[in-house]
Amino acid sequence: MLLYSPGQDCLFFQPDLALDPWSWQWQARGDALPSDAVEISAEDAVRRVYGMKRCRRLPIAVIGPKQAEAHQLQSAEQLGAALAGLGVPVLCGGKLGIMEAAARGAHNAGGLTIGILPDTEWQAANDFISLPLATGLRSARNYVVACSALALVAVGGHYGTHTEAAFGLNFGKPVIGLHGAPQIDGVRHVGSVEEAIETLLPILLHLPKLS
């Protein structure tokens, strides 16, 4: 059960755990719940937490090929918009195809878009990247994308997407697959953007596993 206190601007899990969104740790608490604490959905909880002043906003990476099919591009754009609607930064490789579609969706929805560029100049980013990071690492920037994200969502995939997904899994990051994403052990495949978001919600909240 997720509870939110408007007065304390704090999120609780069950009555006995409170979230510190700077360290992203759930901490045991012994005092009584605030009288204004109300039960909220996971989606509303993400919006509340990512809207707090004292919150480290960890990004979700959207990965996929430069050459993508129309339905893949549409889903990537919808995914970027949905993440931005939750207040979650969208991280990508900063270039074309799925990367540009996800960045466009997030940017147009008012979200923060981060591009980890293979180039040495930030100007190589697509028009929807608000925070371009030029690395000069060429394809090795896939390692940085996977390492920097809280989780990754692959929409479609080619060789570069396979490497990013594999790096993500190697780093212990959740990897969600959509519309022909790499068939790699550990990738959780879903059938829609809505299902991808539902899968991401507990990850975004770092919800503890109950024994």
CATH code at 136? 3.40.50.450
Q: Look at residue 206 and tell me whether its pLDDT is greater than 60.
A: yes
Mind listing the pLDDT tens digit for each residue in 5-64?
999 999 999 889 999 999 999 999 988 899 999 999 999 999 999 999 999 999 999 999
User: Residue 70: inside a domain, yes or no?
Assistant: yes
Mind listing the pLDDT tens digit for each residue in 88-132?
999 999 999 999 999 999 999 999 999 999 999 999 999 999 999
Residue whose token pair is 């396979």:
162
Residues 112 and 158 reside in one and the same domain: yes
Predicted local confidence at residue 153, as pLDDT = 98
Mind listing the pLDDT tens digit for each residue in 147-186?
999 999 999 988 889 999 999 999 999 999 999 999 999 9
User: Residue 95: inside a domain, yes or no?
Assistant: yes
One-letter amino acid identity for 131? L
Residues 8 and 72 reside in one and the same domain: no
User: CB within 8 A of 10, min separation 6: which ones?
Assistant: 4, 18, 19, 34
Q: What b/e string do you get for 165-190 counting C-beta neighbours within 10 Å, with b at 16 or more?
A: bbbbbeeebbbbbbbbbbebeebebb
Residues 136 and 178 reside in one and the same domain: yes
State the total domains in the chain.
Answer: 2
**What one-character-per-residue DSSP string does 144-171 give?**
HHHHH-SEEEEES--HHHHHHHHHHHHT
Structural domain range at position 37 = 2-50
Residues 42 and 112 reside in one and the same domain: no
User: Residue 11: inside a domain, yes or no?
Assistant: yes
Q: Tell me how crowded residue 149 is: count the other CB atoms within 10 A of its CB.
A: 27
